[in-house]
Amino acid sequence: MEGVGSILVVDGSVTARETLRTVLIPHCRRVVVAASAAEGIEAVDRDDSIGLVLCDAVLPGQGGFAVLRHVRDLTGRRPEVILVSPWWIPGDAQRAADEGALGYLVRPVSLRDVARLWKQGRVQPQTLHPRMERRPLAKVWLLDPHDRNRTVLSWDLYDVSTTGAFIETRGPLLVGTELQLEIIFGKESVRCTARVVRVQEPCWMHVGGVGVEFVFVEPASRRVLEDLVHQSVVVAD
């Protein structure tokens, strides 16, 4: 993300912090992490290179709005703030806008939405260049390996077979990394463990992301996966 400098991630989950660090680092100078609003405020005061704060709105103790208010009251340099919430609260969304947040997103967070908000805040829409894009086949949720009921990130799935898939991650992951995934296909889903086997850099012709192989697919999900593969063939035709 051009001109962003460093990005501060404020989240109470160590898994969310480290996952976002891995995904965001190719798009900024560096990623700073904080586990609480107090740590986030301290990081903003200490590090002048921070240009964007991605902050959980419902942190224990002081919430994300405390970070937003602190940034708003700064003189001179002011990083942009995007608040993230586990659910949509219209009053909080309006409050975030009124208090100067760049955006208000609901988990699972799509890095595409983060990049879109950054561009909207930094560049006039008419100066953006159109991009050739394929339509994703499904959404993919990255699950917390320690709590599979918690979603960490939201990605797009572009190609799929019964043995693997290509996922737009908006940033590289290391080959060999194992991921706990849930693929959302209509009203059904596929839960699986996948391993990164290929990394693809983005260019004007295609999105960037990773190729994964399915290490384990839950038995109840196999039929849904076969339906998704069939649907991808129909779309391609």
Helix ranges (DSSP H) in the chain: 14-24, 37-46, 64-72, 90-98, 111-122, 222-236
CATH ID of 138-236, from 2.130.10.10, 2.40.10.220, 3.40.50.2300, 3.30.1330.40: 2.40.10.220
Q: Please state which CATH number belongs to domain 6-127.
A: 3.40.50.2300
Report in angstroms the alpha-carbon separations of 122 from 16, 29, 49, 79, 178: 26, 17, 16, 12, 35
pLDDT value for 207: 63
pLDDT value for 234: 41
pLDDT value for 92: 83
pLDDT value for 136: 80
pLDDT < 50 positions in the chain: 123-133, 204-205, 234-237
pLDDT value for 114: 84
pLDDT value for 25: 83
Can you tell me the distance from the alpha carbon of 176 to that of 190, in angstroms, rounded to the nearest whole number?
21
Strands of 50-56's sheet in order across: 31-34, 6-10, 50-56, 80-85, 103-106
* Tokens, residue 104: 């208000």
- The structural domains of the chain, with segments of one domain joined by +, span 6-127, 138-236
Q: What is the pTM of this model?
A: 0.55
Can you tell me the distance from the alpha carbon of 191 to that of 198, in angstroms, rounded to the nearest whole number?
21
Q: Which H/E stretch holds residue 149?
A: strand 147-160
